[in-house]
Amino acid sequence: MDLTKKRFKEEFSQTFENMYAFDIKNSTAIQQYTALGNYLRFSYSDDWNKTNKKYLNEQVKQVYYFSIEFLPGRMLKSNLLNLGILDTVRDGLVDLGLDFEEIVKSEVDPGLGNGGLGRLASCFMDSIASLGLPGNGNGIRYRYGLFQQKFVDGYQVELPDNWLRNGNVWEVRKENKAVTVRFGGQVGLVEAANGHLKPTYFNTQNILAVPYDTGMVGYQNDVINNLRLWSAEIPPEEEIHYHTIAEREQVNQITEVLYPDDSNHEGQTLRLRQEYFFTSAGIQSVIQYYKQTGLSWQNFPDKIAIHINDTHPSLAIPELMRVLLDEEDLSWEQAWEITKKTMSYTNHTVLQEAMEKWPIDMVKKLLPRIYQVIEEINRRHIEKKLSLYGSDLTYRTAIIADGYVKMAHLAIVGSHSVNGVAKLHTEILMHDVLNDFYQMYPAKFNNKTNGITQRRWLHLANEELTKLIDSKIGTDWKTNPAELKLFKAFIADQETLDKLGTIKLVNKEKFAAYTKNEMGIEINPEALFDVQIKRLHAYKRQLLNVLHIIDRYLKIKEDPTLAIQPRVFIFGAKAAPSYSYAKQIIKLINALAELINNDQEVDDKLKIVFVENYGVSLAELIIPAAEVSEQISLAGKEASGTSNMKLMLNGALTIATLDGANVEIRDFVGEDNLFLFGLNDQEVQILNKNGSYHPREIYETNPRLKQVLNTLIDGTIPDIEMEGRVIFDSLVYHNDEYFLLKDFDSYIQAQEEIDLLYQNKTKWNQKSLMNIASSGPFSADFTIQRYAEEIWKIDSQLIDVHQ
């Protein structure tokens, strides 16, 4: 976007005065932010409109990314960067006497996701727009995002996240595009004009789905795609039927709050309502769009791709069938062909407890027509496969079984592509978790290793590192991240290595200022910063990290004069409110922090910082300051991980199990540049199969580990009587499901190697540089290119993208 500083200052000041009718000098940062956001939205609205029109007029194929979560983070800076006016605006604001960073901070972080899956969706939206690909997001506009986390006496307390309190400058409400979503009622057959009997719905509850659109600004390419989030309202003509506040509330509830759980499927009707609400609204809006093209239904899959992000939107399959059958009068065969060719599905988990399944009666009652369609999909699926695969295999793949509708089965049967999110994860899907389906549909399965947008996670989060890279290898890497590898040429350049060290130190100082001001914890920026940031889960093994910290603490206590590498252990993690074990681990970490941070003898040698309310904005502060990246999940459990990629990109060295995308990180950066430890996936499987794992024996025979574990129950760590006991028992007596005791020694050894290497700054910085330079392949731009070419079959609308 062309914008001079002079013009910006004039136009922005004018916008401010138009909005507020007073002088900008007397305004608050929030008002300045609001005016600036509005100003930017006005500035790109023309391109937004043009992008839309181009897609329609040229009838290009488009993808619709259906996701129940999007976690975009603050948008002001990223929009400025992508519009190409970050420096102009920043300078202009300084001239106006305003504080840019304060303005940035007044944007509330939209917490419309739990973690990895939602953040991935947002990285993908950035890449889709930046590559000039015709793509749209479809999701829910939650009135309240993921809860705000507070610690009270070390315990997690959840407060509502009223992210819309000050409004949302980026969204545009489009009541002209509202659609009706129907729940409940009955299905009857009524004779249609052509004499056929046609399913008709009676006594349904009709909900108005109102879209709020947000522009997804492409990186300096004039492309503005659309993210459409739906809000539930009472249709004005139905107001008369709502007599009590409780009845009205039931409607608002649908889009009131995000489910704060990413591991335990709960069979809650409200969640099913949410899922149908946004998929039905999305499908209807796609259909409305398609009708404008005037093309025949047979061409639908040539123009539309619909992607199902995990099973949450998999009702898109029967919903598209319903529309094609009941509203557009297609035959089952025609509708099914179109649906399968249109839909593709990504799986994000191997955890059984996170696999969605809905009680038959619930689906029948809430979505009677959809249930009929699913039944018929299932009947035909079984009928077709029975003779080919025999009854055992075939019935294991049934969509309706054991009283439930199995959403993953529906998603696989109803789409043409099924992908995992890292090489190892896809292997596990094919050969283990989804093997029955792999036998039936080998060609559907493919891998798409996750990626991250380097624009947010490097250009914006780490401007100094970006400048250093620019000064060494030029700026081509910004549009072709593969070029980052050119940075390897500086592996022996002392000046570059020193600069890397200085940049890291400055980022650590920034984080230290945060912990001091916001948490009252002083940390030494010269200490090694060791970071584990992700949702709290037993399988992610934050607890293994804790055992290592206790081991260090004991060492220091045994010999207070010990020369040990000072470390700061940084945690950021929310636990699902109903996940009590995870919450007990939070309490344990906080109690341990309390003990260690206040122990004079320990001093600077060891500190624990557990940041409250971890989210995208905190990640942007922590990641550039990180030196060690903890990716220590039990092998075979983490589908991919994406913080591993962000940390590597910012020069942290990874300590890892061979799990998720860590395997590919190892492949790209080389075994010498990260620290591997622990069981691999095969070994875990064997131990699980032959039942030969006895943690109690390890406890009894490993004196050091015994000492460490005993601190959980012997009063060493104050105020964790209950939690300490539960955690101790889970490890020692209840079979240590995630093999912490088994991996303990090897983890400690890897940590010792880290300490040792850190003594040699040059060598450390060399490995750091290798990590930065090897992270290009994890750019979401590449991931999205593969989705576009291999699954969605959509083309970039930029003329020079393939040059």
Q: C-beta of 81: minimal distance to ligand 26Y in Å?
A: 24
Burial annotation 297-307 (CB, 10 A radius, 16+ → b, else e): beebbebbbbb
Which positions ≥6 away from 457 have C-beta within 8 Å? 620, 623, 646, 649, 650
Binding ligand 26Y by CB under 6 A: which of 348, 485, 607, 767?
Answer: 348
For residue 263, the minimal CB distance to ligand 26Y (Å) is: 6
Q: Which of 1, 19, 354, 362 binds ligand 26Y (CB under 6 A)?
A: 354
Structure tokens at 140: 């829910």
Among 226, 285, 349, 654, binds ligand 26Y (CB under 6 A): 349
d(CA 588, CA 590): 5
Catalytic residue, candidates 449, 642, 654, 716 = 642
The SS3 call for residue 258 is: coil
Total interface residues for ligand 26Y by CB under 6 A: 22
Q: Which is nearer to ligand 26Y, 116 or 695 (CB)?
A: 116
The answer to whether the CB of 200 falls within 8 A of the CB of 185 is no
Q: Which two tokens stand for residue 266?
A: 């709960």
- Read off the amino acid at residue 567: R
Among 307, 646, 742, 767, the active-site one is: 646
Residue 390, classified by CB atoms within 10 Å of its CB into exposed (0-12), middle (13-18) or buried (19+), is exposed
Residue nearest to ligand 26Y as judged by C-beta position: 116
Binding segment for ligand 26Y (CB under 6 A), chosen from 8-16, 233-241, 246-254, 255-263, is 255-263
Distance CA 91, CA 76 (A): 15
- Does the annotation mark 534 as catalytic? yes
In the complex with ligand 26Y, which residue's Cβ is closer, 225 or 450?
A: 450
Residue 786 tokens, joined: 């593969």
The token pair that represents 623 in the structure block: 């990641």
Q: Which residues pair with 529 in a beta bridge?
A: 568
Output the smallest distance, CB 718 to ligand 26Y, in A.
33
Q: Give the DSSP letter of residue 700.
A: H
Q: What residues form DSSP beta bridges with 224?
A: 217
Contacts of ligand 26Y in 446-465 (CB under 6 A): 450
Does 265 bind ligand 26Y (CB under 6 A)? Our answer is yes
Nearest to 798 by CA among 129, 52, 125: 129
Nearer to ligand 26Y, 211 or 660 (CB): 660
The one-letter code for the residue type at 346 is T
Which token pair is 713? 């129950």
258 alpha carbon, distance to own chain's centre: 14
CA distances from 242 to 90, 204, 273 (A): 50, 14, 19
Provide the token pair at 411: 């998603």
Strands 135-140 and 224-233 turn out to be parallel
Q: Among residues 115 and 282, whose Cβ is nearest to ligand 26Y?
A: 115
Nearer to ligand 26Y, 325 or 366 (CB): 366
Contact between 640 and ligand 26Y per CB under 6 A: yes
**617: nearest Cα among 161, 11, 130:** 161
Smallest distance from ligand 26Y to CB 160, Å: 19
The residue (of 143 and 312) whose beta carbon lies closer to ligand 26Y is 312
Contact status, residue 549 vs residue 596, Cβ threshold 8 Å: yes
Give 51 or 642: the residue with its C-beta nearer to ligand 26Y: 642
Which of 45, 264, 391, 480 is in the footprint of ligand 26Y by CB under 6 A?
264
Single out the residue of 179, 232, 324, 421 in contact with ligand 26Y (rule: CB under 6 A).
421
**Closest separation between CB of residue 356 and ligand 26Y, Å?**
5
- Please list, in sequence order, all residues whose beta carbon lies within 8 angstroms of the beta carbon of residue 510, skipping any fewer than 6 positions away: 621, 624, 625
CB of 364 to ligand 26Y, least distance (A): 20
Binding to ligand 26Y (CB under 6 A) within 80-139 occurs at 114-117, 120
Task: Return the SS3 of 230.
Answer: strand
Is 348 annotated in the active site? yes
Scanning 18-26, 205-213, 257-265, 461-469 for contacts with ligand 26Y by CB under 6 A, the matching segment is 257-265
Output the smallest distance, CB 450 to ligand 26Y, in A: 5
Residue pair 105/29 in contact by the 8 Å Cβ criterion: yes
Q: Which of 119, 369, 534, 583 is catalytic?
A: 534
Number of Cβ atoms within 10 Å of the Cβ of 10 = 12
User: Does the protein bind ligand 26Y through residue 148 (CB under 6 A)?
Assistant: no
Q: Which stretch binds ligand 26Y (CB under 6 A): 101-109, 197-205, 260-268, 560-568?
A: 260-268
Figure out which of the listed residues 641, 678, 724, 777 binds ligand 26Y, where binding follows CB under 6 A.
Answer: 641
Q: Which of 265, 535, 587, 767 is catalytic?
A: 535
For residue 638, give the nearest of 502, 538, 778, 767 by alpha carbon. Answer: 538
Which residue number, 148 or 662, has a Cβ lying nearer to ligand 26Y?
662
Which string of x and - marks every residue 549-578 that binds ligand 26Y (by CB under 6 A)? Answer: ------------------------------
Q: What are phi and psi of 441, to 5 degrees?
A: -130, 65
Residue 463 CB-density burial (10 A; 0-12 exposed, 13-18 middle, 19+ buried): middle
For 352-366, give the secondary structure using H, E and C.
HHHCCEEEHHHHHHH
CB of 352 to ligand 26Y, least distance (A): 12
Phi-psi label, residue 330: left if phi above 0, alpha if psi -120 to 50, beta otherwise: beta
Q: How many of the other CB atoms lie within 10 Å of CB of 162? A: 12
- Which member of 307, 409, 448, 540 is catalytic? 540
Query: Shortest approach of ligand 26Y to residue 268 CB, angstroms?
Result: 10
Which residue in the set 414, 624, 636, 660 belongs to the binding site for ligand 26Y (CB under 6 A)?
660
The C-alpha atoms of residue 358 and residue 385 are separated, in whole angstroms, by 23
642 is catalytic: yes
Closest by Cα among 323, 316, 333 to 291: 323
CB atoms inside a 10 Å sphere around CB 222:
17
Q: Which of 85, 536, 639, 750 binds ligand 26Y (CB under 6 A)?
A: 639
Q: CA 338 to CA 326: how far, in whole Å? A: 15
CB 192 within 8 A of CB 33: no
Q: In the complex, what is the shortest distance from the CB of residue 781 to ligand 26Y, in angstroms, rounded to a whole number?
A: 17
Q: How far is the CB of 347 from ligand 26Y (least distance, A)?
A: 9
467 catalytic residue (yes or no): no
Q: Which of 107, 261, 627, 743 binds ligand 26Y (CB under 6 A)?
A: 261
Which position among 322, 348, 485, 567 bears the catalytic label?
A: 348
Q: Is 662 in the site for ligand 26Y (CB under 6 A)?
A: no
Q: Minimum CB separation from ligand 26Y for residue 547, in Å?
A: 22
Those residues whose C-beta lies under 8 Å from the C-beta of residue 15, and which sit 6 or more positions away, are: 35, 38, 39, 42
Taking contact as CB under 6 A, which single stretch among the options 262-270, 391-399, 465-473, 585-593 is the one that binds ligand 26Y?
A: 262-270
Is residue 88 part of the annotated active site? The answer reads no
Q: Residue 3 interacts with ligand 26Y (CB under 6 A)?
A: no
Q: Which token pair is 725?
A: 């006991």
Q: How far is the CB of 357 from ligand 26Y (least distance, A)?
A: 10
Q: How far apart are CA 38 and CA 12, in angstroms?
A: 9
Binding residue for ligand 26Y (CB under 6 A) from 255, 642, 771, 779? 642
696 as an active site residue: the answer is: no
Mark 696-715 with x for binding to ligand 26Y (rule: CB under 6 A) and - for no binding: --------------------
Radius of gyration of the chain (CA): 27
To the nearest 10°, report the CA torsion of 620, 623, 625, 631.
160
| Residues in region 619-638 near ligand 26Y by CB under 6 A | 638
Residues with a catalytic annotation lie at 348, 534-535, 540, 642, 646
* Residues contributing to the site for ligand 26Y (CB under 6 A): 114-117, 120, 261-265, 348-349, 354, 356, 421, 450, 638-642, 660
